[in-house]
Amino acid sequence: MSEVLSQSQIDALLNSMMSGGGGEDQAEDKKPEKKYRKYDFTTPRKFTKDRIKMLNGIFENYTRVIGSRLNAQMRTTCEIEVGSIEEQKFFEFNNALTEGDVLTMVDVTIQSREVGGAPVLTQDPVMVYLSNSTSLAMMDRMMGSESETARDVPIGYTYTDLELQLYEYLMRDMVALMGNSWENYVPITFEYNRTEVNPTLVQLLNLDETVVLVDMNIQFAGEEGRMSVVLPGSVLTSIFGEVNRESMGRKIASEDNSDEIFEQLRDSTLEIVAELGDTELSLSDIYHLSVGDVLDLGRSKDSPVFLEIGGYQWFTGRMGVHKKNMAIKIDEVCYSAEQRSE
């Protein structure tokens, strides 16, 4: 007769099965689970870390430029720094906007340094956001206010006509300065287009469009705010494409012109100085020098003469006469650094 399990044995067996246990042998065979970094395939990264780093340097330069301009306009110290640069979908930025927010629409024209190259106006606009409290505080300073207290702006605040004109004046200036920071890479013109008062009600860009959001922190006169620049992926792709073409063009031009440059250098004229010797005199002796005086250089007439080019000794030779002119016959070429005097 087979053995009958007790109730305690049945409970232990059920608990073991529910906990996934399979005895000591299974516990020994169990391996630690590998951990993998999560990756969202719905939002793949479009730009490399090097490109983001490049943008960071460009906008750090931009913050210094507009910081100096705002210091003069508002007559107070204005500190601006890059807070973050993130790649995201446009709907993430758009969903964060609230009623009453204002956006500046900016046209971007990519210039070409190539001869005959035509400028290219990008299809999608760049957008600039300035928090309402910050922009209104800037307007107050521009109108003569000297308040050092942060202004409390209610959510959904609507700009007056005068404030919109001041806002446009302020943003035109800040937008125009943006192109200066790109000069080292590619010539770009940023031009104010319009002010969008209700951006949440207008489809400014495809919601699934990849954008790079540059957030900058602003502090002045007790006010702390944020300025954001939204760079559409299509605009950055066009800009980076032109940057790559210019870099390749400079590389090819450097390689192709090397022989020509060398030929031009070979035909250039250099001054050769023959150093016969040197001596030291007091200021009093120099003052009393006159025609016929003899200076002792401390060297014999057969001593070698040094020929210098650009302050370095390149040759040594001996004094002589050639076709009734003083001349030097080269005895040695001093190519090694040890033979040249600093």
CATH code, domain carrying 289: 2.30.330.10
Residues 104 and 187 in one domain: yes
245 and 97 assigned to the same domain: yes
Residues 94 and 205 in one domain: yes
Q: How confident is the model at residue 206 (pLDDT cuts 50, 70, 90)?
A: confident
Q: In terms of domains, do 277 and 246 share one?
A: no
Same domain, 166 and 230: yes
Nearest to 333 by CA among 312, 319, 303, 310: 312
User: Are 247 and 304 part of one and the same domain?
Assistant: no
- Whether 67 and 170 map to the same domain: the answer is yes
Does the reported pTM lie above 0.75?
no
- Is residue 188 a part of any domain in this protein? yes
Summarize pLDDT for 167-192 with one digit per residue, the tens: 999 999 999 999 888 888 888 999 99
pLDDT grade, residue 84 (50/70/90)?
A: very high
Q: Pick the last residue of a domain from 235, 256, 277.
A: 256
DSSP 39: -
- What are residue 215's DSSP bridge partners? 84, 228
Per the structure, the complete domain to which residue 324 belongs is given by: 269-339
Residues 177 and 203 in one domain: yes
- Asked, for residue 195, whether it belongs to a domain, the answer is yes
- Position 297 pLDDT exceeds 50: yes
For the chain, the domain total comes to 2
Residue 107's CATH number:
3.40.1550.10
Please give the radius of gyration of the chain, using alpha carbons only, rounded to the nearest integer.
38
**Residues whose CB falls within 8 Å of the CB of residue 315, separated by 6 or more in sequence, listed in order:** 306, 307, 330, 332, 333, 334
Q: For 221-279, how does the pLDDT look when each residue is reduced to its tens digit (9 = 90+)? A: 778 889 999 999 989 988 888 887 766 655 555 555 666 677 777 777 888 888 777 78
- pLDDT, residue 252, reads 53
Q: Are residues 86 and 214 in the same domain?
A: yes
